Structure 1
Amino acid sequence: MFFGTAGVPNTSAGRSTLDGIKAIKELGLDCMEVQFVRGVRMRDDTARNVGLLAESLGIRLSVHAPYYINLNADSEVKVRQSLQRLMDSARIGSLMGARSIVFHPGYYMRRPRDEAYRRIRDALVEVSDAVAEMGVILRPETSGRREQFGELEEILNLCSEVENTLPCIDISHIHARTMAYNSYEEFSELLEVVESLLGKEAIRNLHVHVSGIDYGAKGEVRHLNLRESDFKYVEFLKALKDFSAGGLVVCESPNLEEDAAMLKELYSQL
């Protein structure tokens, strides 16, 4: 497993992606998720330079596509715009050498859940071949709020039906949404389900989000530092280790690199 941060580390001297990659290396971390949450505004030449720097330093990259994606929008125009944002993220991600494009698929929009699922699945099918040609994988993310599409079962089913997709397992979102999945046994059960539906390769190539999490009746409220939350992160790391999992563990705690470094150290001690 490789450990890093969602975005530029807090302690980075500069706020650019290039600065962030240098900081990741200095911190002894392994990866960084480049955040395009408000739009894909990186130039092609910058993306190539980002990729060259990351490769030279041995830092693995992924991309988080903009939040303004809703493949179940009422407006067909908004669905088209969402797909374009996803394609833009994939293209720039490919130029920088990222292999995973993480995104939130959408909202239920008061539709029956099976209808929302079909609409999102069919939209993704439209772009999966084009994204595959770019050499990247689409990663629909499990969501933390119950009004948002993204239950674990929904995400895994999407990935079993749509080519060139694998899940982004935001384990803290799953915990917040279900008020469960917070023990070694439950984490192991989750990984068993992933393996049974998507195969061993999915376990060897995970993309995981981790943070402390505050939650209520509707699910996620806000991210917390791991030690300030009830999330049993050591037991989660043990499950990853026992399943011989591989891939990226991206920390989304407010203290970013502190919790990422702690997770990496704890994992190395198991």
Structure 2
Amino acid sequence: MLNIGSHVSFSDKGLVTAAQEAISYGSSSFMIYTGAPQNTRRKPIESLYIEEGKQLMESAGIGQIVVHAPYIINLGSYKEDTFELAVRFLQEEIRRTHAIGVRNIVLHPGAYTDKDAEFGINRIAEGLNEVLSGVEETDVNIALETMAGKGTEIGRTFEEIAAIMDKVSANNRLTVCLDTCHMHDAGYDLAGDLDGVLQQFDRIIGLDKAAVVHVNDTKNPRGSHKDRHTPIGSGWLGYDAIEAIVRHEALAGRPFILETPWIGKDPKKQRPMYEAEIALLRGDGLERFGERFFDQLERLHHFFGKQEIDRRTYVLSVWDTIKSDAKARKADPREPMERLYDLVREAGEDFRDTAEEELNQLITYWFAGKQALVNA
């Protein structure tokens, strides 16, 4: 079975809270931050309800999970105080990850700010050497995440990640997290040449080092270096490309983690599409949502067919317009999924009473094409 889940919250009762949320989405894996990703405030390990959470995970069939290091860690910084904070705090996060029983902590490698890429690579490797020498009692691996290349961040190419790994003494403790949005935005052709990209990764780093996959669609064209996620099927990658990634035999067995944004008209009531995305990619939607949902999905296909809307042509044309035409973006900044939602609400008589979350779930399924009806 596809090992898939999403980023979930880690608050109140720690691992219990996270497991309960993951179960509500139908997850078989999940990813957590052990505290707020923007600061260093952390609850004591003893208060994280680790054993209770593990029992809940076991009963739900959830196995391998992932921890993500906080964003404030920057091992690429030339500033001594920032660098030392990053080293010390990452060591503490690794100890917390070890206590939870997780093998991989995902890390954004770092940014070189006022220096250059060579400095950043050397500085990150220096930091990783220092970090790992201080946590030898743990068995946690650091999974360096592939990055989109915005600003001065390192990790935008496989070569940069390999260069870091080559300079780390204990590089057996280093793995890689492949992020689909980041790789696309960095310039890798996941939609047109997935086999070629994975072969390139294998040649430069080694597929045995790929430990985690972040599954995200993207708001920007390939090579844009932007890093802006969008729900599966609603971006430049599209459902077909993402399905090929999660089904690729070279990535089998890894945890696939969704980090797609929450959506909804009211920002205070936005909801994630995780439940629909997980069921869609796994292929167990009928069990998850029931026959009525798929009856509605057939009606949605009929509605968009009458409107002569093709899923990929429509999505890409909307993104192309709002990204390339400032006047058009100012006049109508709505993204593809919101425009489709509004169109159905205005003209789709069969969906007048459909709740907002369910309608967005139906649109998520529609992005997969009619094959989703066959594979339900």
* TM class, shorter-length: 0.7 to 0.9
* 1:181 to 2:189 alignment: yes
The 5 Å alignment of 1:99-178 reads 99-147=103-151, 148-153=153-158, 154-162=160-168, 163=171, 164-178=173-187
* Pair 51,131 (structure 1): closer, same or farther in 2 beyond 3 Å: farther
SS state of the match for residue 119, structure 1? helix
Contact 1:144 1:177 in 2 (8 A): yes
Match of 1:48?
50
In 2: Cα distance, 1:55 partner to 1:166 partner: 25
1:155 Cα offset (Å): 2.0
In 2: Cα distance, 1:115 partner to 1:124 partner: 14
Match of 1:74?
78
1:125 Cα offset (Å): 1.3
* Pair 139,91 (structure 1): closer, same or farther in 2 beyond 3 Å: same
* Pair 87,156 (structure 1): closer, same or farther in 2 beyond 3 Å: same
* 1:260 to 2:278 alignment: yes
1:8 Cα offset (Å): 3.4
Contact 1:182 1:232 in 2 (8 A): no
Unaligned residue ranges in structure 2 (runs of 5+): 262-271, 285-374
Match of 1:209?
214
1:31 Cα offset (Å): 0.8
1:58 Cα offset (Å): 3.2
* Pair 207,233 (structure 1): closer, same or farther in 2 beyond 3 Å: farther
In 1: Cα distance, 2:251 partner to 2:232 partner: 23
Match of 1:95?
99
Which of the two has greater strand per residue?
1
C-alpha RMSD of the superposition: 2.8
Contact 1:5 1:256 in 2 (8 A): no
1:253 Cα offset (Å): 0.6
In 2: Cα distance, 1:63 partner to 1:244 partner: 19
Contact 1:139 1:165 in 2 (8 A): yes
Match of 1:2?
3
Which of 58, 68, 71 in structure 1 is aligned with 2:61?
Answer: 58
Contact 1:52 1:96 in 2 (8 A): no
Match of 1:251?
258
What code does the residue aligned with 2:280 have?
M
* Pair 43,260 (structure 1): closer, same or farther in 2 beyond 3 Å: farther
Unaligned residue ranges in structure 1 (runs of 5+): none
TM-score normalised to structure 1 length:
0.84
* Pair 22,194 (structure 1): closer, same or farther in 2 beyond 3 Å: same
Contact 2:65 2:255 in 1 (8 A): no
State the Cα deviation string for residues 182-226 of structure 1 (Å, max 9, x = none). Answer: 3252x22222233234445335xx301111211378522522112
In 1: Cα distance, 2:215 partner to 2:95 partner: 26
In 1: Cα distance, 2:157 partner to 2:132 partner: 20
TM-score normalised to structure 2 length:
0.62
1:71 Cα offset (Å): 0.9
What code does the residue aligned with 1:243 have?
A
User: Is the deviation greater in 188-197 or in 165-174?
Assistant: 188-197
In 2: Cα distance, 1:81 partner to 1:43 partner: 19
* Pair 242,57 (structure 1): closer, same or farther in 2 beyond 3 Å: closer
Work out the percentage of aligned pairs sharing the same amino acid. 23
Which is higher, the Rg of structure 1 or of structure 2? 2
In 1: Cα distance, 2:70 partner to 2:86 partner: 9
What code does the residue aligned with 1:44 have?
I
State the Cα deviation string for residues 20-43 of structure 1 (Å, max 9, x = none). Answer: 312323432111111241336132
Match of 1:229?
235
* Pair 236,131 (structure 1): closer, same or farther in 2 beyond 3 Å: farther
1:88 Cα offset (Å): 1.5
In 2: Cα distance, 1:53 partner to 1:149 partner: 38
Match of 2:312?
none
1:120 Cα offset (Å): 0.7
* 1:21 to 2:26 alignment: no
State the Cα deviation string for residues 61-112 of structure 1 (Å, max 9, x = none). Answer: 2111111011121311110100122112111111111111011121121322
